[in-house]
Amino acid sequence: METRVLKSTNENIKYCAELIKRGEVVGIPTETVYGLAANAFNENAVMKIFKAKKRPADNPLIVHIADMDMLRELAEDIPDTALEVCKKFWPGPITVVLPKSDRIPLVTSGGLNTVGIRLPSNNVARELIRICGLPLAAPSANLSGSPSPTTANHVFDDMNGRIPAILDGGSCSVGVESTVISFEGDIIRLLRPGKISVDDLKTVASDVVVDKGVLEIISNDASVKSPGMKYKHYSPKADVTLISGSVEFFEQYVAKHNSAGTYALIFDSDDISDSIKAVRFGDSSEQQAERIFAVLREIDKIGAERVYARCPSKEGVGLAVYNRMLRAAGFKVIKEGD
């Protein structure tokens, strides 16, 4: 199948809405990362997403909506805290996990009786959902396991020949996937960190619990609250190691292990020896979130074999960057002073 990359003009958005209504899968921009969108009610269409991504069937899809009426159609027993989260942070990069209504097929929810729902702020995504008049199941538009796509070209690299069209809406402004949360009374459980941070969530909940899966290895057969967290993720082909500590420690460590295929992944303001090849990924956590996935793709393109990465801050959206890099590194962290 030929994969067309289309500018997100009104005409092309309408064309993609037609494809989706016919049960096809389309690559779409959102403010977080690009998604692979299909009609969330149509089992066959949703199965095409899993096939295109080579995604395990028990990894649930996030359902994207354009207004609060759709939320009430898809979820049941919505707690007040969830409504407050939606009121405060939607449209935006946060997904709420709620008991699902019968309208959501089990294929979409990965066999769970809950569903993750999000109302994106990206205008192209919202316009597309509105024209379809349907909720759109849309996981990240990468092949399962590889870094999430933040440009239409990244989607094309992974999906060429696997889907009919990609809507090009430029690069994603947030750059990491949505924050995913569930509710236990008026307590929020953070299942996946994103742009909406723990501190943001504390403004609406009595407490915020960070799920174990955010920072620890979850074994593949463990029953986990956020199934996506148990899979190997975001992994470039290169062998990545995170180095936690000062830039001086980082430089010494990399110099000791430096060879032809070695690259350093460092902050923009880091000053290290010219004898170490370096790729930079920003200074602030916001910049790092925006660039991390593009950089992980870039290090594969330049043929890096071993990558030593500076450990990002865990504050704010930094926790999301750290969480993704930890997975890219297969949880290998070298700590200064250990």
In the complex, the residues that contact ligand AMP under the rule CB under 6 A are 59-60, 62, 97, 109, 112, 114-116, 139-140, 177, 180, 191-192, 225-229
What span, in angstroms and rounded, lies between the C-alpha atoms of 97 and 15? 31
Residue placing its CB nearer to Mg ion in the complex, 140 or 262: 140
Contact 36, 174 (CB under 8 A): no
Percent helix / strand / coil, the chain, rounded to 5:
30, 20, 45
- Pick the stretch among 45-53, 123-131, 136-144, 293-301 that binds Mg ion (CB under 5 A): 136-144
Of these partners, Mg ion, ligand AMP, none, which one is at the site of residue 93 (CB under 5 to 8 Å by kind)? none
Of these partners, ligand AMP, Mg ion, none, which one is at the site of residue 226 (CB under 5 to 8 Å by kind)? ligand AMP
Residue placing its CB nearer to Mg ion in the complex, 96 or 243: 96
Tokens matching residue 324: 């993704």
Nearest CA to 182 out of 203, 162, 201, 163 is that of 201
Q: How far is the CB of 251 from ligand AMP (least distance, A)?
A: 34
Of these partners, ligand AMP, Mg ion, none, which one is at the site of residue 297 (CB under 5 to 8 Å by kind)? none
Please give the DSSP secondary-structure letter assigned to residue 147: P
Position among 140, 151, 197, 288 found at the interface with Mg ion (CB under 5 A)? 140
286, containing H or E segment: helix 285-301
- How many residues touch Mg ion under the rule CB under 5 A: the total is 1
Residue placing its CB nearer to ligand AMP in the complex, 192 or 310: 192
For position 144 contacting Mg ion by CB under 5 A, the verdict is no
Tokens matching residue 122: 């990206």
- Pick the stretch among 41-49, 69-77, 132-140, 288-296 that binds Mg ion (CB under 5 A): 132-140
What span, in angstroms and rounded, lies between the C-alpha atoms of 130 and 324? 31
The sign of the CA dihedral 212, 218, 158, 263 is positive
Q: How far is the CB of 306 from Mg ion (least distance, A)?
A: 25
Please give the DSSP secondary-structure letter assigned to residue 145: T
Q: Under the rule (CB under 5 A), what is the footprint of Mg ion? A: 140
